[in-house]
């Protein structure tokens, strides 16, 4: 019924970026975790149980100033060299989530120039 009312107000609910914020209050929740919960299939209560587990509140959105809920930014896959004299060429992989609240873009050290031999 809520979805039909939103369609009558001109909101296309076939796209989850519009449908999700119509029925869930996402304020203060981790964007990637919300989308993961929204896409849960099967189990008891499907994605509703997963969303409740995050602390999401199910509600009807106020349509004044309503905007879609964007999907999360892609994960960043980086490899960092392991320091040490015997670790040349050994790297540790790391996955960085730009949606984490403490995310700051990594500062890469400038590459050193090799001295030319005489």
Residues spanned by the domain of 25: 2-58
Judge whether 14 lies within some domain: yes
Q: How confident is the model at residue 83 (pLDDT cuts 50, 70, 90)?
A: confident
* pLDDT the model gives residue 11: 65
- Please state the rounded mean pLDDT for residues 106-117: 69
For β-strands 76-81 and 57-58, DSSP reports them as: unpaired
What's the total number of domains in the chain?
2
pTM: 0.69
Same domain, 12 and 45: yes
Using one digit for the tens of pLDDT, what is the confidence trace for 14-27? Answer: 778 888 888 899 99
Judge whether 64 lies within some domain: no
Same domain, 51 and 85: no
Judge whether 66 lies within some domain: no
Same domain, 12 and 47: yes
CA-CA distance, 21 to 2, in Å (whole number)? Answer: 12
* pLDDT the model gives residue 9: 62
């Amino acid at each position: 019924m809520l979805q039909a009312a939103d369609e009558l107000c001109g909101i296309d609910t076939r796209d989850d970026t519009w449908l999700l914020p119509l029925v869930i209050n996402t304020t203060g929740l981790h964007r990637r975790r919300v989308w993961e919960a929204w896409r849960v299939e099967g189990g008891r209560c499907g994605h509703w149980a997963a969303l409740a587990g995050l602390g999401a509140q199910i509600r009807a959105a106020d349509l004044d100033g309503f905007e879609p809920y964007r999907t999360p930014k892609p994960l960043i896959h980086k490899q960092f060299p392991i320091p040490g004299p015997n670790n040349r060429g050994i790297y540790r992989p790391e996955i960085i989530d730009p949606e984490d609240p403490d995310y700051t873009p990594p500062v890469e050290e400038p590459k050193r120039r090799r001295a030319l031999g005489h």
